[in-house]
């Protein structure tokens, strides 16, 4: 079973050149902008000396107010220390820093390491949750983990076998442990949890195995489940009631989580919640997205298939849905909506609006009014051809019939491919530049849906896919995006898909990593590369900033290739099979020439 699932995912390369491309007038305008962040904005949406949530802030900005490391000195960065987790798999997520301790969660077996920053590289303690090995066999797309959250003296995170654990941050002893699902049903858990007041929010994975998705709230101090909201099924299960007011007509109606599916297929409907959760303290709303519907064969499931590929806004206290927006109805291309919803306030047409911004797998960047779910801007940020545009009046994509997929028919050159124009690797927002910094992919696919039957804890895919490099010859680009204008400001083209998360800082810097092992710092305004170094393995983790015990700023990043697009570098896939791993083997065949497996955290500081 381990080999059967793991063989589903793997990538390919291209010999592309790297280069910075930017709008001429845009850079001139940005250069004139005052690089000063209003104190209120920093207080609301910036991390400080510590990094205590997966994104640094509950709003998901991944912006640090620290500025000791800046454009004038970042070229002098040196590695202070590195620490190996001992696991050779995808190291997604990023470390936490609380006080003088760094907390690192590794991929399966999901050990939690407490590192003493006062004595760099020394381990205070190691906690082992001992997750079921069965979970390894059903985990789709690697056995990674997207990090932990700190609250009330505890480090809280998910183990792969659907267990959430809370560990005393000082002693390393287990405080509580809650089992939320059985891996023998195909479920696993890898997402980064979020805490709001007395609740921690977690969700499941496994849409490719016909798992029914959910998000749950647990009591931070006891681990007791407070509420659970399903992604499919009757309104009562989805926690849709009198407070639910979606903006668009397409999302209005009773029990759409049942009626938009044939028969009882909603019970195997996917819509898992496997990536990120964000929160707006002003509106007291929780934001998250659901995954693709199961199966990948759209002819098996006529209808909109709600509430897959959907953004939900919920009351964190009760779990009640306040609004929802289904981004890709009847998703035929694996365009999950799990990517982060970044909470920001920005002027639109001269009026400051309360927004969320999501760079969706479907290749469109959405700017939405977070009070209502209205789409204000939706523009492609990568090559897109499955749809002509997003109709702002209806909220619906305007489809290109030539890129629709049907059983027994090969539809060629669909852009983007199932991994998306951007997967779950998180973007960042800087209030200095008012820009978003986005890791992207330029991968397209030939897809043939196939007949499929549901067998519990086995792949429920129903598609043959061959992935390949998209237009232009480069597989990725790291770019700066104006979410109000809906346009790219500058970009750095990369040989491979960019699968790391992003960090922006008050030093007017942006940090990111690449699959071919480069860790870079760039000028947030111009996109000029100011620092780069190669790490031992490809980078799919998320950089963080923090202040060390000596009062000096540090930057930390994981190395350890893996995840959906990087798994080919872990071995186990024959180069002779281009269709292995959803056809990613064809796209990423060259990656092992540039990186091997690894697994470590690296900490950098100024001399």
CA pair distance 396, 446, nearest whole angstrom: 24
Q: Is 339 a catalytic residue?
A: no
Residues sharing a CB contact under 8 Å with residue 411, sequence separation 6 or more, in sequence order = 402, 403, 404, 405, 446, 447, 448
Helix (H) or strand (E) holding 257: helix 256-259
Residue carrying the six token digits 């760039």: 522
Find out whether 75 and 509 touch, Cβ atoms under 8 Å: no
Residue (of 443, 519, 477, 516) closest to 94 by Cα position: 519
Side-chain-side CA neighbours of 131 within 13 Å: the count stands at: 34
CA pair distance 575, 587, nearest whole angstrom: 11
Residue 576, classed as helix, strand or coil, is: coil
- Compute φ and ψ for 96, nearest 5 degrees: -100, 150
Residue carrying the six token digits 């129903």: 462
Of the candidates 110, 292, 341, 542, the residue annotated as catalytic is 292
Find out whether 577 and 9 touch, Cβ atoms under 8 Å: no
Residues sharing a CB contact under 8 Å with residue 97, sequence separation 6 or more, in sequence order = 50, 51, 52, 103, 117, 544, 546, 556
Q: Is 297 a catalytic residue?
A: no
CA pair distance 439, 410, nearest whole angstrom: 29
Residues sharing a CB contact under 8 Å with residue 66, sequence separation 6 or more, in sequence order = 47, 48, 49, 505, 506, 507, 545, 546, 547, 553
Residue carrying the six token digits 């964000």: 278
* Phi-psi label, residue 582: left if phi above 0, alpha if psi -120 to 50, beta otherwise: left
- Note the residue count of the chain: 607
Q: What is the 3-state secondary structure (H, E, C) of 381-411?
A: CCCCCCEEEECCCCCCEEECHHHCCCCCCCE
Of the candidates 80, 161, 208, 474, the residue annotated as catalytic is 208
Q: Beta-carbon neighbour count of residue 598 at 10 Å? A: 25
Find out whether 97 and 90 touch, Cβ atoms under 8 Å: no
Find out whether 147 and 104 touch, Cβ atoms under 8 Å: no
CA pair distance 591, 603, nearest whole angstrom: 25
Of the candidates 161, 304, 334, 423, the residue annotated as catalytic is 334
CA pair distance 323, 335, nearest whole angstrom: 20
Rounded (to 5) percent helix, strand, coil in the chain: 10, 35, 55
Q: Is 379 a catalytic residue?
A: no
Widest pairwise Cα distance in the chain: 64
Q: Which residues are catalytic?
A: 208, 292, 334
């Amino acid at each position: 079973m381990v080999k059967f699932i793991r063989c589903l995912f793997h990538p390919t390369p291209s010999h592309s050149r790297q280069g910075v491309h930017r709008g001429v007038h845009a850079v001139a305008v940005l250069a004139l902008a005052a690089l000063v962040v209003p104190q209120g904005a920093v207080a609301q949406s910036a991390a400080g000396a510590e990094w205590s949530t997966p994104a640094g802030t509950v709003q998901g900005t991944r912006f640090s107010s620290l500025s000791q490391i800046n454009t004038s000195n970042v070229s002098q960065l040196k590695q202070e220390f590195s620490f190996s987790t001992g696991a050779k798999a995808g190291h997604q997520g990023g470390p936490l820093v609380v006080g003088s301790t760094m907390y690192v969660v590794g991929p399966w077996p999901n050990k939690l390491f407490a590192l003493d920053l006062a004595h760099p590289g020394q381990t205070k303690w190691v906690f082992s949750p001992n997750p079921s090995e069965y979970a390894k066999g059903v985990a789709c797309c690697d056995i990674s983990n997207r990090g932990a959250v700190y609250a009330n003296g505890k480090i809280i995170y998910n183990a792969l076998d659907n267990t959430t654990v809370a560990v005393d941050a000082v002693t390393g002893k287990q405080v509580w442990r809650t089992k939320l699902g059985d891996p023998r049903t195909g479920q696993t858990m890898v997402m980064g949890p979020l805490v709001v007041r007395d609740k921690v929010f977690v969700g499941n994975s496994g849409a490719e195995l016909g798992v029914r998705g959910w998000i749950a709230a647990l009591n931070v101090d006891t681990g007791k489940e407070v509420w659970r909201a399903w992604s499919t099924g009757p309104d009562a299960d989805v926690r849709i009631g009198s407070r639910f007011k979606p903006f668009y007509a397409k999302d209005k109606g009773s029990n759409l989580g049942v009626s938009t599916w044939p028969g009882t297929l909603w019970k195997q409907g996917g819509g898992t919640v496997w990536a990120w959760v964000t929160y707006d303290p002003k509106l007291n709303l929780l934001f998250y997205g659901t995954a693709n519907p199961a199966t990948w064969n759209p002819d098996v499931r006529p209808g909109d298939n709600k509430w897959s590929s959907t953004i939900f806004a919920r009351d964190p206290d009760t779990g009640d849905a306040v609004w929802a927006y289904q981004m890709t109805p009847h998703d035929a291309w694996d365009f999950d909506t799990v990517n982060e919803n970044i909470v920001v306030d920005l002027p639109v047409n001269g009026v400051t609006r309360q927004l969320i911004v999501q760079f969706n797998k479907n290749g469109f960047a959405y700017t939405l009014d977070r009070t209502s779910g209205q789409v204000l801007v939706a523009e492609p940020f990568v090559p897109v051809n499955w749809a002509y545009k997003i109709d702002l009046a209806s909220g619906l994509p305007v489809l290109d019939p030539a890129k629709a997929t049907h059983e027994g028919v090969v539809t060629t050159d669909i852009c983007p491919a199932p991994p998306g124009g951007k997967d779950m690797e998180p973007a960042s927002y800087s209030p200095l530049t008012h820009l978003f910094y986005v890791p992207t992919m330029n991968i397209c696919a030939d897809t043939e849906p196939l007949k499929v039957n549901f067998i519990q804890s086995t792949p429920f895919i129903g598609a043959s896919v061959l992935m390949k490099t998209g237009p232009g010859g480069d597989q990725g680009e790291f770019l700066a995006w104006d979410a109000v204008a809906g346009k790219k400001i500058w970009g750095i083209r990369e040989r491979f898909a960019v699968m790391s998360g992003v960090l922006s800082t008050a030093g007017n810097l942006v940090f990111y990593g690449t699959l071919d092992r480069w860790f870079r710092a760039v000028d947030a305004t111009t996109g000029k590369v100011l620092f780069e170094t190669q790490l031992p393995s490809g980078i799919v983790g998320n950089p963080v900033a923090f202040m060390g015990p000596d009062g000096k700023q540090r930057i930390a990043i994981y190395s350890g290739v893996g995840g959906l697009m990087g798994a080919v570098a872990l071995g186990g896939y024959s180069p002779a099979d281009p269709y292995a791993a959803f056809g990613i083997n064809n796209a990423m065949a060259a990656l092992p020439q540039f990186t091997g497996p690894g697994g470590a955290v690296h900490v950098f500081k100024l001399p």
